[in-house]
Amino acid sequence: MPIEQVTARKITHYIDYLRRRRLKPKTINCHLERIRQFYVYLSYEEQVGSANPVKEGYSLRMPKPLPKSLTEEQLETLFSQVSNKRDRAMFMLMLRSGLRVEEVANLSFAVMDLKRRLIYLRDPKWGKDRVAYVSDDAMKALFDYLKVRVASRASKVFLVEKGTYRGQPLSVRGIQKRMEYYAKKAGLEVSCHRLRHTWANQMLNADAELETVQDLLGHSWITTTQRYCRLSNQKIKKDYFKAMEVVMKRTGPLASDP
């Protein structure tokens, strides 16, 4: 086909062809970039006036791998570095209640029912309400922080403690920077999202139902939760031996001495 007749629609057909060949998005994006660069060459070096069928920045969306869960040893190492009561309370809400960093930053007293240990959350993106529960140790961390919280009329729970913006709500980036600080001190690769992911896996390992974790995470589709919460070897091993006990009771012993 003449290069002048290659259009964006033709490129779409080409992408479909590559997909049928089971090429990965990363490989397909390499093909697209080579085509785009070829047309750039034709335009600037050969003075060929054909329109580039692959626009700059156009590519297939790459699946982002989910962060791995932290082990108990890694959690102990991380939290051993967190002496600040505000920071400990924030991180405990992510680890024990599965809160997103944005939800921690926007947490206000109006959505908290501390007597019932509930937090009412609303996702502004999807308009989806959900309830998060607060564990005993997270509740203690929260109360410890509230005792020393900076005096302020701000409705948000977590506030800046020093500097020009003292008493103002702590931003999402501010929370992330605190996590980065402690991660560096602990020598670990940790993010706020990784704490939420660790919570989900811990729930599954403790035999919580997948639907329960889905609801607590605020996922609309259970397939999202299935991808988000990969079962660890610990639960797989436990499920295997539990099932095999039932099987062996039903079938009886099969091995016998020669």
Whether residue 251 is contained in a domain is answered as no
Whether residue 169 is contained in a domain is answered as yes
Number of domains in the chain: 2
Same domain, 93 and 213: yes
Q: Is pLDDT above 90 for 235? A: no
Q: Is 100 a catalytic residue?
A: yes
What CA–CA distance (Å, rounded) separates 84 from 103? 20
For residue 211, what are the contacts with CB-CB under 8 A and spacing of at least 6? 222
- The whole-number pLDDT of residue 24 equals 83
Q: Which residue among the candidates 125, 147, 153, 250 is catalytic per the annotation?
A: 125
Same domain, 77 and 203: yes
Same domain, 120 and 25: no
Q: Which residue among the candidates 122, 130, 193, 235 is catalytic per the annotation?
A: 193
* Interval 123-182: pLDDT, tens: 766 567 889 999 999 999 999 999 999 999 999 999 999 999 999 999 999 999 999 999
Mean pLDDT (whole number) for 18-35: 86
Same domain, 38 and 92: no
Same domain, 43 and 147: no
Same domain, 155 and 137: yes
Same domain, 43 and 151: no
Q: Which residue among the candidates 122, 133, 228, 235 is catalytic per the annotation?
A: 228
Q: Which two tokens stand for residue 253?
A: 């012993």
Q: Is 219 a catalytic residue?
A: yes
Q: What CATH number did the domain enclosing 150 receive?
A: 1.10.443.10
Please give the share of the chain, as a percent, with pLDDT higher than 90.
45
- The whole-number pLDDT of residue 246 equals 82
Same domain, 196 and 230: yes
Q: Is 13 a catalytic residue?
A: no
- The whole-number pLDDT of residue 232 equals 59
**18 with 28: CB under 8 angstroms?**
yes
Same domain, 164 and 206: yes
Whether residue 252 is contained in a domain is answered as no
Kindly report which listed range (13-22, 55-64, 72-81, 167-176) carries the lowest average pLDDT score.
55-64
Whether residue 136 is contained in a domain is answered as yes
Q: Is pLDDT above 70 for 230? A: no
What CA–CA distance (Å, rounded) separates 15 from 103? 39
Q: Is 196 a catalytic residue?
A: yes
Average pLDDT taken over every residue of the chain? 85
Same domain, 213 and 179: yes
Q: Which two tokens stand for residue 107?
A: 């947490």
Whether residue 28 is contained in a domain is answered as yes
Kindly report which listed range (42-46, 186-190, 194-198, 217-221) carries the lowest average pLDDT score.
42-46
Same domain, 47 and 142: no
Whether residue 241 is contained in a domain is answered as no
Whether residue 225 is contained in a domain is answered as yes
What CA–CA distance (Å, rounded) separates 118 from 82? 24
Q: Is 147 a catalytic residue?
A: no
Q: Which residue among the candidates 100, 117, 122, 235 is catalytic per the annotation?
A: 100
User: What domain range is 92 assigned to?
Assistant: 72-235
* Interval 73-124: pLDDT, tens: 999 999 999 999 999 999 999 999 999 999 999 999 999 999 999 999 987 6
Same domain, 40 and 88: no
> Among 105, 114, 135, which Cα is nearest to 216's?
135
Hunting for tokens 């996590």 — which residue is that? 179
Whether residue 53 is contained in a domain is answered as yes
Mean pLDDT (whole number) for 237-246: 78
Q: Is 31 a catalytic residue?
A: no
Domain boundary among the residues 34, 63, 92 is at 63
